[in-house]
Amino acid sequence: MEELSADWNHLRETAKSKQIRLLQANKAVEFVNSVDEIVHWLKEADEVLRNDDLGKDVESVIVLLKKHATVETELCQKETHLEDLKKTSAKFEQENHFAHSVMSKKVQEAMEMLEKLQSQAIALKENLEDSRVYHSYVKDIHDALLWIKEKIALVSLSDFGKSLVEVQSMMKRHQLLEVDVANNNSSTKSLIEKGEQLVRSNHQQSPEIEKLVEELVRRRNELRDAASLRKLRLDDAVQSQQFFIQCHEINSWIIEKDLLVSQKIHIDNDFIQSLLKRIEGLETELVTHKVQVQGLQEEADLFVKRGHFESAEITQQMEAITTAFDDLLSKVKSQKEALVVKRRLYQFFRDSEEMEDWINSQLTVASSEDYGKDLDDVDRLIHNFGKRTIFWAIIIFSKSSRKNVFNLRKYVPLLFYVPIHYLVI
């Protein structure tokens, strides 16, 4: 009985030990399965984190960052799970679990893998953030370059208007554009400074960023220079259009006065006197306008000297005005000389007609057959028609006529040089 009792006790202890070992084995299996599941997920995560895709634009980088955030969240969850498993492993060791060394090793390996993945996740996140910054910066740079190129196209136009109104309208639009450029300079400056900072921080895309910054600076300077040049050209265009307006006014005045001096001259005292007064008034106007023409010539010379873009047109108009003004001066001089000759002719003809009328009246008296009725009457007739009348009248007429003809003779050659339309009698 004692032997049987001992065997029974041994069996019971063996069964109990077996039960404990089976329970420990079950827990060990569950533990190992949990660790293996985590390890399996970590391996998948490792493949995800090893992906070198950092996106092609801002939108794709944002999508990758969202996926990465999900991986980071799951890594935190796995870390918590592994910490729990690590505590369980320590408990197994305290319970003297038969497989505690194996389970502790598997947990430790999983923890090391997790720490490695966490380091990879941090590095990948930094790379993705750098990529987001880079693509965002590139987008901003491209937008700025596109805006600058559009403005360069506007300020590079070769059209400066065909009238003063058009030029002034273009000037107003250019002033608004200059305001836009000035307002945009601050954002452009910020982009340049940001790019330089990224280069100094050794960003992964530093070479590309440096090239973009250089292009932005070059385009900004190009826009600034082109805008300044167009401003100068528009200023020149305003001045040249004002110059052309003055030329047009002078030319219109010359044409108007040319019609005046081109009139036919008739031997009519009132007409000649009136025309002479207008010619004398025109001479006064010519003195004033000559100063204006000289001023325009000086202004034209300055335009040509500084290389005005309309120098050829300015020179052509100035030459035409100078020629027309000189022609007008010559016509005025010729007509005045012709008018003086006509006035002297008219005076001569009038004096001749008066003398002829007087002679005819005296001949009528001298032809009278009244010889007196007595001695006193005869003496009276002799006295009236003696030396102091007919004789002296003839002498005076002869001298006056010779003097008028002599004075007129020096103007006769001019009649052959005066334009034919001036000589209508």
Q: How far apart are CA 271 and CA 239, in angstroms?
A: 44
**In one letter, which amino acid is 380?**
R
Place of tokens 């370059």: 145
* pLDDT score, position 177: 92
CA distances from 311 to 276, 295, 299, 308 (A): 40, 16, 11, 5
* pLDDT score, position 231: 92
Closest to 174 in 3D by CA, of 218, 114, 96, 228: 228
* pLDDT score, position 356: 76
* pLDDT score, position 104: 76
Give Rg (Cα) of the chain: 60
CA distances from 91 to 33, 100, 291 (A): 17, 9, 116
CA distances from 65 to 71, 127, 128 (A): 10, 10, 7
Other C-beta atoms within 10 Å of 71: how many? 18
Query: What domains does the chain contain, in order, with CATH numbers?
Result: 2-146 (1.20.58.60), 156-241 (1.20.58.60), 262-423 (1.20.58.60)
> 3-class secondary structure for 243-288?
HHHHHHHHHHHHHHHHHHHCCCCCCCHHHHHHHHHHHHHHHHHHHH
Please list, in sequence order, all residues whose beta carbon lies within 8 angstroms of the beta carbon of residue 183, skipping any fewer than 6 positions away. none
* pLDDT score, position 113: 86
Q: What are phi and psi of 42, to 5 degrees?
A: -65, -40
CB 125 within 8 A of CB 100: no
- State whether the Cα torsion 132-138-141-146 is positive or negative: negative
DSSP secondary structure code for residue 388 in this structure: I
Ordered mean pLDDT values, 10 residues apiece, the chain (425 residues): 70 63 64 81 84 84 88 86 79 65 79 87 88 90 94 90 88 92 91 89 85 93 93 90 91 86 66 75 84 90 88 90 90 78 73 76 67 68 57 49 50 42 39
CB 209 within 8 A of CB 137: yes
- pTM of the predicted structure, to 2 decimals: 0.61
Task: Quote the crossing angle between the two packed helices 100-155 and 2-49, to the nearest 10°.
Answer: 10
CB 234 within 8 A of CB 174: yes
* pLDDT score, position 395: 46
CA distances from 53 to 68, 218, 398 (A): 12, 32, 127
DSSP secondary structure code for residue 424 in this structure: -
